[in-house]
Amino acid sequence: MTRSRPATYLALILALLALSTPSAKSDEAGVSDDAILFGQAAALEGPSAVLGQRLRQGIVTAFTEINAKGGVHGRRLQLISRDDGYDPDRSVAQTLRLIDEDKVFALIGAVGTPTAMATIPITSARNVPFIGPFSGAEFLRDLELPNVVNIRASYDAEAESFIKHLTEDRGFTRIGIFYQDDSFGRDVLVSVKRALAMRNLELAAEGTYERNTRAVGSAWRMIKRAEPEAVVMVGTYGPCAEFIKLARRSGSHPTFANISFVGATALAKELGSDGEGVVVAQVVPFPWDRSLKLVSDYQAAQKVLDPTLTPDFVSLEGYLSGRLAASALEKTGPKPTRASLLRTINDVGRFDISGSIVTVGVRAIDAPPKVFLTVIQKDGTFKAVDRL
């Protein structure tokens, strides 16, 4: 009997684990007298590189700020980042390298659903903290995965947010979807269909593209036949920008609504003058709103790290992840282990980060992370909106 691809893939991961699992386990891996080492496997090069780079930038900003104040219980927080190209196989290799060779204490700032699906079996088997993945996938919110620490809203919540606005604020009924043809895209596809079904609506059209490509022509041809009033977009900044520009050139002007994973500022830069009116869902506070202490602290820390850095949504998310990790370590005490850190995170469940509350684990069920919408302006900046 031919083994299915998922089963084969799982068998490969288990084989790798059997070869690489150390004979003597140490919960204190990555913890020395003066430092705690974190690892990041993310897209740092290639067509989705801006996502991993900005997330890394935010984490380093937070760690630098914490270290300048003496670190956590006298230990500096350090980060090793390795490029996985937003590819599941490479992500497995880099994750194993971070755990086995670099001896990191915890993983932070992973990018993507398909890469997380490939690496979660590794981190769960070893109880390695997996903090702040840049993904709203439903499987990451399974309470049976206590080592996963989500700080962002789910894709289900994002889908509900913009489908509500598109249908109730704008009165649209013909809505299409353009999505990455993998676990990420299909996860959001289910959420969008669910949100539409609650309003007795169905998708008007679907179009897909392959991860790490910009081959979107056939997807646009499939979708344009339905003459949609709006198109939900589930992908990274490159292909989404290509799709929108293709639609504009053909004379079609539906409302485009993007999942937060797109990388909002990178999308706006790619689109240029074609970006006006494009909607992007967000899962972190508006990074230019200095009335929020969180944003004020984030911007100040950025200036200290590098005066040329500019605020954006992805790096703010990385900053939040870094600050949460530091806060949890502070509460864990001077002798942290992976198990004690995860126990603290899941027991506390509610962290005050510069006046902004981040809920994780069970606490996030009753007080889920927020979603809000932004619209790209004519000059490429963003406007936060309550209604479209």
* Interval 269-325: pLDDT, tens: 999 999 999 999 999 999 999 999 999 999 999 999 999 999 999 999 999 999 999
3-state secondary structure of 326: helix
Distance, CA of 193 to CA of 228 (rounded, Å) = 15
Where on the phi/psi map is residue 220: left (φ > 0), alpha (ψ -120 to 50), or beta? Answer: alpha
3-state secondary structure of 92: helix
Query: Would you state the pLDDT for residue 148?
Result: 97
Of 37-41, 103-107, 156-160, 363-367, the least confident = 363-367
Q: Which residues pair with 176 in a beta bridge?
A: 205, 231
* Interval 211-229: pLDDT, tens: 999 999 999 999 999 999 9
Residue 6 scores a pLDDT above 50: no
Mean pLDDT of the chain: 93
Q: Which residues pair with 233 in a beta bridge?
A: 178, 258
Distance, CA of 196 to CA of 297 (rounded, Å) = 39
Phi/psi for 343 (5° steps) reads: -65, -40
* Interval 161-210: pLDDT, tens: 999 999 999 999 999 999 999 999 999 999 999 999 999 999 999 999 99
Query: Would you state the pLDDT for residue 278?
Result: 97
* Interval 250-265: pLDDT, tens: 999 999 999 999 999 9
* Interval 110-132: pLDDT, tens: 999 999 999 999 999 999 999 99
Distance, CA of 309 to CA of 320 (rounded, Å) = 17
Confidence of residue 5 (pLDDT cuts 50, 70, 90): very low
Distance, CA of 355 to CA of 365 (rounded, Å) = 21
Q: What is the mean pLDDT of residues 55-71?
A: 98
340-to-32, 96, 180, 331, 362 alpha-carbon distances in Å = 16, 22, 37, 10, 17
Q: Which residues pair with 130 in a beta bridge?
A: 107, 148
Distance, CA of 250 to CA of 268 (rounded, Å) = 20
- Percent of the chain's residues with pLDDT above 90: 91
Query: Would you state the pLDDT for residue 317?
Result: 98
Distance, CA of 235 to CA of 229 (rounded, Å) = 19
Residue 14 scores a pLDDT above 70: no
Query: Would you state the pLDDT for residue 386?
Result: 66
